[in-house]
Structure 1
Amino acid sequence: MTRTTTDVTSDAEGDGASAVDRAIDAFRRGEPVLVHDAADREGETDIIYPGGAVDAEAIVHLRADAGGLICAAVSHDVAETIELPFLEDELDHPAAADHELGYDDRSSFSLPVNHRETFTGITDDDRALTIRRLAGVAKQASTGNYDAEDFAADFRTPGHVHVLRGAPDLLSDRRGHTELGLALADAAGLPPAVVVCEMLDEESGGARTPAAAREYARRNDFVYVEGAALIERLE
C-alpha cells in the first residue's frame, strides 16, 4: 500500500464536513479511513480500506494496529447476485437459534471464504488476495457478468475472510461499519467492497476510545471521521 500524507490529517473532532471530504478523497486514493460508529451503538472505531486497495502490507497494518476481526463487506445487490446468504440462516445448531444482539437487529455475517488460489488462506498474502478478488467480484457482479456458479469456481468456504452483507438501502436501513464503509466506497466511486477491522486497546482489551483513535489518526496522518457525519452527508 502506498499512502500520501498531504491533506490527510483528520479534523480535531472528526465530525465535520471537511472530515467527510477528506475521508472520501483518502478512500479514492486507496487509503484507509478510521470510522467511529456511535457511542450508543457498538461504540467502536474501525479501520476501513477499499477492498481493491488491500495488499499484504494492509493486512499487517490491520493485524498490528487494529487487532479486531478482519472482514470484507459487499453490498446487498452483490450478495444477492452471487447468492451469499446470511450465515445465521445457514446454521442448523442450537447455538444459532437465539442470536439477539445488544446493538442491532441482526448480524451482517455471511460465509467465510478463501480464494481458490490461496494455500491455507490465513497468511497476509493469502488474505489480501482473497479480499482483492472479492473486490473484483463486486465490480463484475454489479454489471451482471458474474453469478453464484462463477463465485463457487473462484472461492471456497469455509475460509479465513469473513464476508459481510450490506443492508439493501445502506445507511437508511442500518448504520453499522459495514454500511458506513460501503457508503464511503460509493461516494468515492469505488466498487461496493470494503474491509473493516475493529481497533482494540492493547491494555484493556476493549474497544479503543474515540479519543485514542483520533490521536492515532493524527500521529499517522490518517483520516478519522464520526459515523454521524457520514450519515448526515451520505444517507
Structure 2
Amino acid sequence: MTGDASTSTATATATVDRAVDALRRGDPILVHDAADREGEVDVVYPAGAVTPDAVARMRNDAGGLVCVALADAVAVAFDLPYVQDVIDHPAAADHDLGYDERSSFSFTVNHRDTYTGITDEDRALTITELAAAAAAPEETDFAGEFRAPGHVHVLRAAPDLLADRKGHTELAVALADAADLPPAMVVCEMLDDEGGAALSPAAARAYADREGLVYVEGSAVVERLG
C-alpha cells in the first residue's frame, strides 16, 4: 500500500470512528451513499435521540422523507414486510429501480398517542417510540402501540446489512450497531433548495462544516464496518 493510499484509508477510518462517536452522543451525521448508487446525502440521527427540533431541522435543512431504518430482525419480530411484497396493485408488480434491486420501504406508521401524526411533536414521538420498540422487540406489542398508515416511513434493512445491500438503510443500521445503539436510525435525504435535486456532496460537506457535523462517505463505512 502506498503512503497516499495508507493515509487516505486512515483518514476514512478516523472519519467513520468520529461518526460513530457523534451518534453515541445523539448528534446527527451526514452520510453519502455512493455516486454510482442514489448519489444522495442523508441526515442520519439515532432514532432515540430525535426531538421535535430535530424533525424541524430535517424538514427545513434536508427536505426529504423522514424515515426510520430498522434492522431486519426487528422488522421480522414486528411482522413488517417490504411493502412492495404486500401491495396487490399493478403499480407494485415491477419495481424497476435504476440504483438497486429493491426498495427498503415497509409500512408508514404513527404511534397511537399521536393525533394527526404529522407535527414535529407527533413525528418525534413516533420515532422515539420506534427506537424503544427496536431496543426490546420481544416486549413490544407493535400493533398495540402503532397504527398504519401513518406519517413516519419505516425502512427494513437487508438481513446481512452491508454484505447484502449498501443503501442508507443498511449504512445507518451498521453505524448504529457500531455505536451500540438500538437498531433504529432516522434517515432523511438532503435536497437542493434552488433546483430541487439531491444536494451535492460538496454542498453537503459545506453544510456539515458550518454546523459542526461529521460527513462520511458510504464507501468508508463499508470499508470500516462491512
Structure 2: distance between partners of 1:79 and 1:16:
31
| Post-superposition offset of 1:145 | 2.8
Structure 1: distance between partners of 2:78 and 2:200:
37
Q: Which residue of the partner structure matches residue 189 of structure 1? A: 180
- The two structures have a TM-score, normalised by structure 2, of 0.94
2:54 pairs, out of 51, 58, 62, with: 58
2:16 pairs, out of 4, 17, 20, with: 20
Structure 2: distance between partners of 1:139 and 1:157:
21
Structure 1: distance between partners of 2:158 and 2:94:
21
State the number of aligned residues: 217
1:145 pairs, out of 139, 142, 146, with: 139
The runs of 5 or more residues in structure 2 that have no matched partner are 1-10
Amino acid paired to 2:220: A
Asked if 1:84 is matched to 2:80, the reply is yes
Structure 2: distance between partners of 1:18 and 1:214:
16
Structure 1 runs (4+) deviating above 2 angstroms are none
Structure 1: distance between partners of 2:142 and 2:12:
40
Q: Which residue of the partner structure matches residue 164 of structure 2? A: 173
Structure 2: distance between partners of 1:213 and 1:41:
17
Structure 2: distance between partners of 1:87 and 1:234:
28
Structure 2: distance between partners of 1:152 and 1:46:
29
| Post-superposition offset of 1:48 | 0.3
2:117 pairs, out of 111, 121, 144, with: 121
Q: Which residue of the partner structure matches residue 3 of structure 1? A: none
Deviations 1:77-112 (A, max 9, x none): 000011001101111111111111100000000000
Amino acid paired to 1:121: G
Structure 2: distance between partners of 1:133 and 1:105:
30
Structure 1: distance between partners of 2:223 and 2:12:
10
Structure 1: distance between partners of 2:171 and 2:93:
28
Deviations 1:177-199 (A, max 9, x none): 00000011100000000000000
Q: Which residue of the partner structure matches residue 71 of structure 1? A: 67
Structure 1: distance between partners of 2:139 and 2:146:
16
The runs of 5 or more residues in structure 1 that have no matched partner are 1-14
Please report the RMSD computed on the Cα atoms of aligned residues, expressed in angstroms. Answer: 1.1
Which structure has more helix as a fraction of its residues? 2
